[in-house]
Amino acid sequence: MFLEQFNKENTQLGWIEVICGSMFSGKTEELLRRLRRAEFANQSIILFKPVLDNRYAAESVVSHQGQSWNATRVSESASILKHWNGEQIVAIDEAQFFDRQIIQVCVELAQKGVRVVIAGLDMDYLGQPFGPIPDLMAIAEFVSKVHAVCVSCGNLAQFSHRTVSQKEQVLVGATEKYKPLCRACFQKAKA
Return the CATH architecture of domain 15-147.
Answer: 3-Layer(aba) Sandwich (3.40)
Active site residues: 94
Per-residue pLDDT 10s for the chain (191 aa) are: 455 555 555 566 899 999 999 999 999 999 999 999 999 999 999 999 998 877 666 676 766 666 767 899 999 999 999 999 999 999 999 999 999 999 999 999 999 999 999 999 999 999 999 999 999 999 999 999 999 999 999 999 999 998 777 777 766 656 678 899 999 999 999 88
Domain chopping of the chain, boundaries:
15-147
Q: What's the order of all strands across the beta sheet hosting 45-50?
A: 72-74, 45-50, 89-92, 115-121, 15-21, 142-146
This prediction has a pTM of 0.88
**Radius of gyration, alpha carbons of the chain:** 17
